[in-house]
Structure 1
Amino acid sequence: MENEIIESQHTELKRELTDKLERIVIAFLNSKDGGIIYLGIDDDGSVIGVENPDKVQLQIADRLKNNIRGETLGLFDIVLEKCDGKNVVKVIVSSGTEKPYYLKEKGMTSEGCFIRNGSRVENMTSAMIEKAFARRTRNTLSVMKSPRQDLKFEQLQIYYQTHGKKLNDQFASSLNFLTEDGEYNLNAFLFADNNDITIKIAKFAGTDKTQLIENEEYGFCSIIKACKDVLDKLNVENRTLARVTYPFRQEQRLIDSDSLREAVINAFVHNDYSDLMSPAFYIFSDRLEIVSYGGLIDGMSKEELVSGCSRPRNREIMRIFKDVDLVEQLGTGMNKMMKAYTPDIFTVSPNFFHTVFAYKSLETKNVPNVLNVPNSDKSNVPNDEISERQKLILSLLKNDGNLTLAQIAKECDVSEKTIKRDIAELKSLEFISREGSTRGKWVVLDKWLK
């Protein structure tokens, strides 16, 4: 950690794990923005370190799961970091959607409910508790019955096994796939092999929706598989632009790859599935649009979103996506996107969340061009009667006359057929000649230099 860490509204420092952990976590869960707890750092910022950090992380996870009421699944993340060469445990807590959260042993009372006030943890008043409870979202995926009960989860089992984890016979309960009546809920429906959720990717020839050239449907399977399928498709569409200007080769993806991945995953994780609506993806000639449903979660602003504040709409989806390594630490995805783009790529309305990636183009202003050197140094300037690609071919052959057509084609980012045609033209212009037969080599003649 490069910067000095101090306690604040969103940061708590603890020398060691104490019995106050749950109170601090509850205060962050009940707050607007969540927060971070550092274990192994004293109040004054001195790094003490944590002994046996693996054991401490397990203790934290167990205590937060069993001692706090209000579902915390997917709302906290526990990671190990190094600070001044010492182990520090970092607990990232998101603001929850089932406020008020409270201590199991104290119940939903002033003694069990806490809130953050500056760097202090304070008891919530009865009025605060009643107000928070009145605003609690009732229509969550966990309480909504699945439209189908004949669900299978072989794909989910495989994804967990692939990541070194195993789902036991009680996985439906531990993943919050059941209603209070023991029936499958919408969470289960989304992750089942045989659901009715469809994801559409539409591709258009121009910059509007007048000429549809491709319309593909994904889904009808676990949303993990659907998400991976969509990522694969959009990665293919995210072409690499290339320009060769001797001796430099520029490459540029249409869309920043990390940002594209994060935006697609966010669309799946934060979409409002309560009406069985799913994300949609639109490919145009100049941009990619991603549309998810539900807008921002109640009480969250666009400014808070782009700053990295994490408030997952669907905590169960977030938790499972994290289990299979589709999601990293809470809030890190948005930070990655804001390094490559500005908040202008997002448009928020009450019912929709749009992300628009305008395609990038190759920048040339910072790329040296040796074909435009001063007149005083023209010893290596190719003749102007041939193309830029042919000049590059001459430069390549001048350095290595044994290059094959395939090797030259790769360097020039064109087909072997194109290179064969260029070679024939250069030979007819007497810019190159061939020495030897099959095992011979190309020789660049002096004529190509001015």
Structure 2
Amino acid sequence: MVLIEDLTTELKREYTPEIIKTVIAFANTNGGTIYIGIEDDGDIAGIENVSETMLKVSNAVRDSIKPDVTLFTDYQQEQIGNKTILTIAVQKGTSSPYYLTSKGIRPEGVFVRQGASSVPATETAILRMIKDTDGETYEEVRSLNQDLTFEYAEKEFSNHNISFEENQKKTLQIKNADGIYTNLGLLLSDQCIHTIKLAVYEGNEKEQFKDRREFSGSLFKQLNDVYEFIDRYNNIRSEINGLQRIDVRDYPTEAIREALLNAIVHRDYSFRDSTLVNIFDNCMEFVSIGGLVKGITLDDVKLGISVTRNHNLANIFYRLAFIEAYGTGIPKIMHSYREYETKPRIEATNNAFRIALPNTVNEKTVSNQPANKTAIQSNPVKNKKLAGDEQTVIALFDKNEFVTRQDVETALDASQAKALRVLKRLTKTGKIRTIGGGRNTKYKKTDD
């Protein structure tokens, strides 16, 4: 028998640790056979203790290579003349890239076959193998970095009394069935490679910076850090109604929260670019990479229809109560601006999604409530010039001598701030008058 080294054949005089690299290369390429006991020139040297050598190789293959490649290896001893050799047949594996456990899924740990040599794979080749094996879903693909820590994520899970042990990581798809971290694990780890860039501008154009930051780390950390930072620019102003003062924000806090969560949970992480948050005097915008999921239109999104790009990531945020239910974020944002004339702007391109929240500091409020027909008919002259929400409030006095602010909130399905504004307008025009003060404030309709 005359053998020469080629794409599928490797000759070794004796066992050396380098054999493991060849096993990896064969499993990652087209398979092959390693012959131990044969010189590089094809001369048969033989080995003295075949059983001991086989044990060394099988133990090294089992302990030094991930994912498990043992099912794709077969060991046989062969007799050539009076010499004994060991053959290791390696099939092409189904979970490439296979790699050295000690090096990880990096070029120094992944090998492929080129001619008669086993060489480190390029990062491009590694990514192609992962894509071919794991499919297109970014969060389910194996992470190139397996040296991950979860200090921040562990605290977040602990705060919600949810287990974050090894079994839980597999259940949540942070690790796959082979115990290998997925890209979902990378996103939640302290080593997350994706960031959020935040810029605060002077005025309404991208001309002069007032402040800019880049937030990194686990997506949980980015969420909390960015929200805390934005809160500094969400100014509080006060409105007075009688003895009551109500604090109002420039931006509805619920709208900021939902827009930020949308940018984090639904962006396309197969792109490396950062998520952007821009704060101007007149608005705050959130720009995330990745357009709408195929088959979904912008009108669908506004109606609350949700097809999640990162299903496993969304599931974790749902379990931790960051999101209440799929598809509710955009409707919540729109609902939080129901009292204002200017509404949030939502735009989508093939590769980006943008939500712009208007600053409400100079916004006029609008009525979203239909006029109360009973009130109009019973008081046609008095209520003729009143807005719909004011007519609704006046109608409350048809059955009640006194009305509280809480009664108005319920009738208008409005916030405390809007209820007070409506009551203030009616008081100014002399339609109602205030009785009492503080928490005991009531309102009574005047006789004129």
Task: Using structure 2 for the length normalisation, give the TM-score.
Answer: 0.49
Asked which structure has the greater RCO (Cα within 8 Å, sep 6+), the reply is 1
Greater C-alpha radius of gyration: 2
